[in-house]
Amino acid sequence: MTAEAAATTAGTEQPSGAGFPPFKTESFPSQIFWLVVTMTFLFVVLWRYAGPRIRATLTERRALVQQELAAAQENRRKAEQATVAYETPLFEARERAKRLNTQVREQAAEEARKAEAEAEASAERATREAEERLARVRSEAKTHIANAARDAAMEIVERLTGERISEAEAAAAVRSLQGA
Amino acid sequence: MAINPMEQFAVKPIVPLHIGHYDVSFTNQSLWMCIVVGAVSLFMALAVRQRSVVPGRVQSMAEISYEFVATMIGTAAGEDGLVFFPFVFTLFMFVLFSNFLGLLPGAYTVTSQICVTFGLAAFVIAMVIVTGFIKHGIGFLKLFVPHAPWYILWLLVPIEFISFATRPISLSVRLFANMLAGHTLLKVFASFVILLGGAGGVLSLLSVAPFFLIVAITALELLVAALQAYVFAILTCIYLNEALHLHGHH
């Protein structure tokens, strides 16, 4: 502390403090008196007047900021809620649409399968019927041919020999020729 | 020497006044104490005039000083130290404004008087002692007994006591010496400017050098002014903390 040293040196140089005003003791009562007066005044001003007012302002501001923050928080919460409220039906609708889509596709596939099976079955039936008819026609044709051959045989025999043979004999003869 | 740098610290009576056989004349120093107190009061009055939610410049400054001191007490002396807020706030504002206003040319620096700073420091210590005894009774004396083995206590207790007893001196001399030294320096360099300026010729031109030094030192003194006010207030808080919590656990 050089300044302190300087102060003390200055004090010791003039033992009575004659040349160094801060050490002139004769002014001390006045200094202390006015210090007490002014400090007391300032203390009262700051303690009773300024202090409480500044504190009130600060408290008010803090409360206001707190309040605004709480309001903002509340608004945020509401907005989030609204978003949820908006998105939930949207999501549900999308889900339902998806479900319907699958359902319809499955249904269509099922119907297609059924139609295919039916078509196949009817085609098969038609084929079978056609084949049966063909067989029937073929056998009828065979019978007709056999009958025609029999009649022809009877006619031929009658013309050649003048004899009439019975139908059964002619048929047997035709059958025996057919078998050969 | 033509210009005595100590002359600025002289206490000169303006209105002679006596109470009993004490001379309590209204002096230039008393005047400046009144100016300081008036300036702080005016500042505060302007600051709390509007009390708006979004503060203006003056209100903001007052609120910053208020919160600065409140935080300082809170951290240095704990929450229960806040009962001393008006006192510490008064001390801080008084010292700060004294230091700042003292830097105005022609102004008188109240805190450059050892009598004033010692008066403040003695009051602080007296309050610490009274608080300590009210709070802890005779147990306040444990302040002089640190946590240490018994065989070195015989050495530590006197040291603690001396360090406590010298506090009003260190607290007051620190502020007083800083203010005194700064203003003496300013005055010395200011006298150089005048002496060189009056010498004529090249020397007159040289007087610019100490002038710029004064500007630089004034800037430094602004820092010192604020710093010393802070130091005075924070030490007050630390001493109050000891009175409230003895060995600093708050």
**ipTM of the assembly?**
0.84
Report yes or no on whether pTM surpasses 0.90.
Answer: no
What is the dihedral sign for C-alpha A122, A128, A132, A134?
Answer: positive
Does the beta-carbon distance from A38 to B37 stay under 8 Å? Answer: yes
DSSP letters for A78-113: HHHHHHHHHHHHHHHHHHHHHHHHHHHHHHHHHHHH
Over 50: is that where the pLDDT of A4 sits? no
Are A11 and B176 within 8 A, CB to CB?
Answer: no
Q: Is B37 on the interface with A (CB under 8 A)?
A: yes
Are B119 and B110 within 8 A, CB to CB?
Answer: no
Q: Give which of B15, B21, B26, B37 to mutate to test A binding, by max A Cβ within 10 Å.
A: B37
- Is residue A112 assigned to a domain? yes
Task: Output the pLDDT for position A108.
Answer: 94
Please tell me which residue of chain A has the smallest CA distance to B58: A54
Does the beta-carbon distance from B116 to A39 stay under 8 Å? Answer: no
Phi then psi dihedrals of residue A24, to 5 deg: -80, 105
Cross-strand bridge partners of residue B15: B26
- Is residue A73 assigned to a domain? yes
Q: Which of B40, B44, B116 lies at the smallest CB-CB distance from A31? A: B116
Using a pLDDT cut of 70, give the percent of chain B over it: 97
> Where are the alpha helices (H) located in B11-166, listed in sequence order?
28-50, 57-77, 85-102, 114-136, 150-165
Task: Output the pLDDT for position A12.
Answer: 43
Contacts of A51 in chain B (CB under 8 A): 66, 85-86, 89
Phi then psi dihedrals of residue A93, to 5 deg: -60, -40
Q: Which of A45, A51, A64 lies at the smallest CB-CB distance from B53? A: A64
pLDDT tens column, B90-111: 999 999 999 999 888 878 888 8
Distance separating alpha carbons of residues A55 and A46, to the nearest angstrom: 11
Q: Is B29 on the interface with A (CB under 8 A)?
A: yes
Please tell me which residue of chain A has the smallest CA distance to B40: A42
Closest CA to B180 of B3, B4, B2, B8: B8
Number of domains in chain A: 1
- Is residue A149 assigned to a domain? yes
Task: Output the pLDDT for position A104.
Answer: 94
Res. A73 pLDDT band, cuts 50 70 90: very high
More confident residue, A8 or B191: B191
Distance separating alpha carbons of residues A28 and B74, to the nearest angstrom: 35
pLDDT tens column, B198-220: 777 777 778 788 889 889 999 99
Beta strands in B160-205 (DSSP E): none
Res. A151 pLDDT band, cuts 50 70 90: confident
Please tell me which residue of chain A has the smallest CA distance to B182: A3
Res. A114 pLDDT band, cuts 50 70 90: very high
Helix (H) or strand (E) holding B18: strand B18-19
Average predicted confidence (pLDDT) for chain B? 85
Give A34 to chain B, closest Cα distance, Å: 6
Average predicted confidence (pLDDT) for chain A? 84
Q: Helix or strand or coil: residue B97?
A: helix
What would the mean pLDDT of A152-168 be, rounded to a whole number? Answer: 83
Domain that holds residue A63: 34-179
More confident residue, A41 or A11: A41
Distance separating alpha carbons of residues A6 and A146, to the nearest angstrom: 162
- Is residue A119 assigned to a domain? yes
